[in-house]
Amino acid sequence: MIYVGIDDTDTRETPGTNKLAMYLSELLRDRFETRWIVRHQLLEDPRVPCTNRNGCVSLLFEPLGSDGVAELTNILRDEIVRWIPEGSDPGLCIVTDAPERLSAWGRTAQQELVTQAAAWELARTIGVHLEALGGTGDGVIGALAAVGLLATWNSGRVIRCYRVPADAFDLTGEFTVEQLYQIGVDDIFAVEDGRRLAAGTVNLGKRLRPNLRDGRMVLYVAGEGDNYEAQRVVA
């Protein structure tokens, strides 16, 4: 498996990093299977320059043939550079193994202000492929964090998962709990008391975005009786 982290690839007027991740997944589908795409929330602070809410994105790829890390790196670099608009500060991180120190970095980036210099130092120390692809290069902070957070299997909102048809993540409106389990959601929990729902109806809102928790896709909801609303949970 190959872990990839990308960040700061957009501006307020251009498609976001989630869109780029989905584009890359589609582009590579004949050579690399996309196992997961996950959006992670980093520290929201006025001191942090970001496009919107300071999120970063991780992808997990499985080679389908002889292509490996070198080939994937070249493709990603070229496509990201082609994609990015002026004013973005993209970073790219690629590893085949994510050590605990990388996950610790990701958790720190969710809670504290961290620097680009510290990101470069950690990447050099543990031998992680990290590169800046334009602008100030501040995207290396989130790219490094994204890989570490995916490796925890306990962070972020799922954008794509190999176990679920891609179009399921574009579902909107109301669905029964049973339907959502059949689609591939592993657990649906009520935020009020933590119970796992066995029945009822859930309004997904804008789209299906379960959270990644302990390697499972978990949807958090709030409501009364048999009617629930999906909740936006970050971490």
pLDDT at 49: 55
Domains of the chain: 2-157 (3.30.70.2200), 170-230 (no CATH)
Mean pLDDT of 157-173: 93
Min mean pLDDT across 86-100, 138-152, 208-222 is at 86-100
* Residue scoring higher pLDDT (76 or 17): 76
| Residue 12 pLDDT greater than 60, yes or no | no
Cα gap 75→78, rounded to integer Å:
5
CA dihedral defined by 85, 142, 51, 53, rounded to 10 degrees? Answer: 150
Cα 3 to Cα 43, 100, 181, 233: the distances in Å are 22, 14, 27, 23
Write the pLDDT tens digit of every residue in 93-149. Answer: 999 987 899 999 999 999 888 999 999 999 999 999 999 998 888 899 999 999 999
* Residue scoring higher pLDDT (53 or 25): 25
Mean pLDDT of 145-173: 94
pLDDT at 88: 79
pTM of the model: 0.90
Q: Which residue type sits at 171?
A: L
| Residue 168 pLDDT greater than 80, yes or no | yes
